[in-house]
Amino acid sequence: MNALFVLLPHGAAADDLLAAVATERADATRALALRSYPRADDARHLHSLVRSGRDPLATQWQRGLLLAIAGGAAVGTLVNTVLTACGMLGGLYEIGVPLGLCLGAFLGGFTAAMTGTEAPRHELRPLLQQARRGDTLLQWNAVDRRALHALAAAAEARGHAFAFVP
């Protein structure tokens, strides 16, 4: 699925973009799906809105999950190594170190799964940095990229910032 993100300034309407494209590509615009994010106060607020939306086309989560698991494993190993050295588990490092590794990795992954590790995709970050007070982020999804390219041309003609996510 392909996605086009357009940053609309306060007062602009998405219907204007669709109307410009509908005249030339009426068949392609029927296959478009629109998602509108709430109005943003600033760039950080829009970044937070995208992150909390947990949309797979707008966010990535794998890197954060893997870092949480690796960090938990490292901390768990370190803590259990110190505790084993102090006499826990009878001083048996063969049990203490792997136990700390496994428990730490599990707790790191569990924490990441419960709190969420979503972050906006790299293609979308420059667009989010341009947000000003009252701007709205629109996301159009389509299998056919031709309709998205027509929307991007209409957005560019009106001076709106946009970004593609393949």
CATH code of domain 2-58+133-165? 3.30.70
Buried (b) or exposed (e) across 64-74, using 16+ Cβ within 10 A? bbeebbeebbe
pTM (two decimals): 0.76
Interatomic CA distance for residues 109 and 72, integer angstroms: 8
Q: State the burial class of residue 61 (Cβ atoms within 10 Å of its Cβ: 0-12, 13-18, 19+).
A: middle
- Per-residue pLDDT of 11-59, as tens digits, reads 887 777 777 776 665 565 667 888 889 999 999 999 899 988 888 888 8
| Domain limits, the chain | 2-58+133-165, 62-115
